[in-house]
Amino acid sequence: MHPQAQRTIRRLFKDVAKSDQVFFSTHSSFMVDVAFFDEIIRVESRPVRVTDTSNSVESFVFQVKMADMILDLETRHPAVKSKTSADSFRDLYSHAYNPTRNEGFFASRVIFTEGNTEEYALPIYAEACGHRFDKDSVSVVSCGGKESIDRLYRVFNELGISCFVVMDYDDGGSGDAVSSSRQLLDWLEQPSGVPTGILLTDKVACFQKDWEQTCAAEIADYAALKQQARKFLGVKEDSGKPLIARYIARVLVARNPAVVPPTITAVLSKAIGCKHTGSCLRKPA
């Protein structure tokens, strides 16, 4: 059905659910809403070895409780205790809704990016490295800034989905940007000091300054490609970073042999191999 019709049906279901319980099964990102994460039940089938010569399939079920999410928030930020309700929590999450982000509910792995630059370029480099994101059920989700990454990470992780974060530390940038980087790395329980080159772990890839600086250092003709991209696209440097990154990625992988910056290759290897390691929610000691 058309997206508009899917949203209409979802609203109809919400109305019916005011008086009756409604269950529906879907593979559509338009039929789920991250603000109503507690209404989503995720079922995942996994192969299970029965004997040395035969396998079976077992289903695993995941659901996130609103009470657990609120408790996690109050444990990390005691000042908000008793001020948070289910409605206010939904408002906090509602702006994170869009069908592209909701696609992550149907993925086996989610790569969270700070912005569109990585979202546009990573799949291109991944294919050149032999990784098929769609075939491997990997979604790249742009979070629109660092501030939304932990919010989306909580929901997807608690639904049993493997999560990986790609971000900029913004070393040398504004104090607010660096502070946000430290806070996010602390939340991910990763080293939060200024990385040397790149911080690369099983959970996160954090560039010392940003994606552009890293690529510029590893691509010999980066400056010429950047100028070529700006001319071809008709964009300014500041406003066209994601488009420029995608253009450069396409040019590089079209070469014979394909060129992928070494750091990006390492990031992809970590992201593809990330594993779900359990709940990230905190409770009072």
The secondary structure element, H or E, covering residue 139 is strand 138-142
Per-residue confidence (pLDDT) for residue 88, from 0 to 100:
87
The DSSP code sequence of 229-280 is HHHHHT--TTTTHHHHHHHHHHHHHTSSS----HHHHHHHHHHHT----S--
Query: Whole-angstrom Cα distance, residue 64 to residue 270?
Result: 26
Whole-structure pTM value = 0.91
Per-residue confidence (pLDDT) for residue 45, from 0 to 100:
87
Per-residue pLDDT of the chain (285 residues; tens, 9 = 90+): 999 999 999 999 999 999 999 999 999 999 998 889 999 999 998 888 778 788 888 999 999 999 999 999 888 888 877 778 899 888 888 877 677 788 899 999 999 999 999 999 999 999 999 999 999 999 999 998 898 899 899 999 999 999 999 999 999 888 889 999 999 999 999 999 999 999 999 999 999 999 999 999 999 999 999 999 999 999 876 678 999 999 999 999 999 999 999 999 999 999 999 999 999 998 887
* Residue (of 194, 220, 215) closest to 263 by Cα position: 215
Query: Whole-angstrom Cα distance, residue 103 to residue 165?
Result: 16
Contacting residues for 77 by C-beta, under 8 A, at least 6 apart: none
Per-residue confidence (pLDDT) for residue 91, from 0 to 100:
87
Q: Are 198 and 184 in contact (CB under 8 A)?
A: no
The residues that bridge with 252 in the sheet, in sequence order, are none
Query: Whole-angstrom Cα distance, residue 9 to residue 81?
Result: 36
CA 277: distance to chain centroid?
16
Domain range annotation of the chain = 1-31, 32-272
The amino acid present at 238, given as its one-letter code, is D
